[in-house]
Chains A and B, each alone.
Chain A
Amino acid sequence: MSALGAVSVQFTREQLAEVRRLQALYPDKRAALLPVLHLAQEAFGHISLEAEEYAAGLFDLSPAHVHEVVTFYSLFFREPRGRHVISVCHNLTCHLLGAQRVLTHLKKRLGVDVGGTTPDGGVTLLSVECLCACEMAPMMQVNDRYEGNLTPEKVDRILAELR
């Protein structure tokens, strides 16, 4: 509940129907918590504490148990994020093939640090563990897409397309 007493996170009727559908798929409806949290992230942009409490209500769970799940997974955003999310892999193969150079370049171009979002709310920059695409190292994930064999020039082209 917000300070005004009004619920500012609330699924639409269609989204609620989807929640019920997902919950019905499992013998224990708690199993549907992950997909419902994804739904919440899509709907609200990020998962605030308020959204956690809202989800807890949908599952008859205590908010603490939803908080456990949200803090466990790095792909749930607890702060507002940009319209685009760029995740640069920093694991071994990418590292050896120049991930740091890619990351430094991105930081410079975007003017933000890892974990930051550009002031216009356009892009959030992350540095992440292995994304399972060593064959295209150094690589990064741009929203739902993988981009590999990165060079500063290629990064520039990708950024230009994003704007």
Chain B
Amino acid sequence: MSKTVDIHVHHVTRVEGHGNIRVRATDGVIEKLEWQVPEAPRFFEAMVRGRKYEDIQTVVSRICGICSVTHSLAAIKAIENAMDIPISTQTDRLRILTHYGEQLESHILHVGYLVTPDLLGQKSVVPLVGSHPDVVNVVIDLHRLGNLMMEKLAGRKTHPVRLVPGGFAMLPTAHDLRQLKGELVAAVPKLEALAEVVANLAGGVPHFSRETEFVALVNAPTYPFYHGDVGTTDSDEIVSVLDFENVVNEYVVAHSTAKWSKWHRDSYMVGALARFNLNADYLAPLAKKTASALGLEQGCCNPYMNSVAQVVESVQVVERSIELIDEILTAGIEYQRPEAIIQAGCGAAAVEAPRGILFHRYEFDENGICVRANISIPTNQNHANIQKDFEEMVPQIIDQDQDHIRQQMEMLVRAYDPCISCSTHYLDVEFV
């Protein structure tokens, strides 16, 4: 009797946005294997045309609820680049701090709420409330802290209000910052507890490796999320963010509403693992220690380890935030009104979203009206790599039962922490 594998996951669950997986195989011969992205396209690049520069970050923030600070910052940096708007050291530090808040919130949400249920054999975080209350409480506390940082610094948890070209529409008080610092210091042992839980579950992380290209911001000697140019593990060259189109090389595939990318080879990966592989030397001490405790080493090519790299980065941003608050408080907070002199120009910027490098470019006319925009989001840059992972992994496990194959594939997609709403939505495994 011939064995048929027929998988169709329509809208993979526990990811942001919509994606489908389709597999068809007879007697171990794969006939169809596709990662599809049917998210409703949203056309932001067209939507911002004709809008005034001061409204851009408000609109593009809505590309993605979970990376809204990153999208706002990328837009603001690109606008400042286009119009030569100077910013102060204070603004720079406060933006980085706000951005750390989003990294923490998003990483904890992903690892705690979306990935851990897989590792504990559950379909959602809800049953864990009863079975693992201590884990759930740590996750809730850390997630809330990331949100608190954004709320105190940017005026709201999702879709920042205070981040504007030229600086901050309103500044936090020294009291706010001291309060945040207290919470951050208290979060360190919670992060250690979370790392321990993850270390115990690490055995459940599938063993799969595929050599690929990793791409992230580099800015030696720091572990950058906000500054830097584009680095790759495939060469020593560092590309200016102003030339980002030469990195992303976008193309359209038939089964996807999202655009795909490739650079030195057929696909590349962005995200926490890429950042780690390029910049691990510059991690703060506790983050470094956490990485080795979790068995994460530079050069790791197991995409499932992206979630582990997110835990390491959660430690990194908390450690750096504590230092950064000290720097800001020592310098003293000075009232500065954001100013911009409107002029025509074209500008680009890159910022690391929790799920990988994000590029924005805008062109403005002399009235500050946007005439052209180009946005390359991290999830789109990962699509080709997900497909290539499938092509290598599925033949290795095609003899196993269909549910297992399906689960491994869904977990792989989830490991990338895709945010398909940006790409404009995905996840459906279809075994047809």
A and B pair up: no
Residues of A within 8 A of B (CB): none
Q: Which residues of B contact A (CB under 8 A)?
A: none
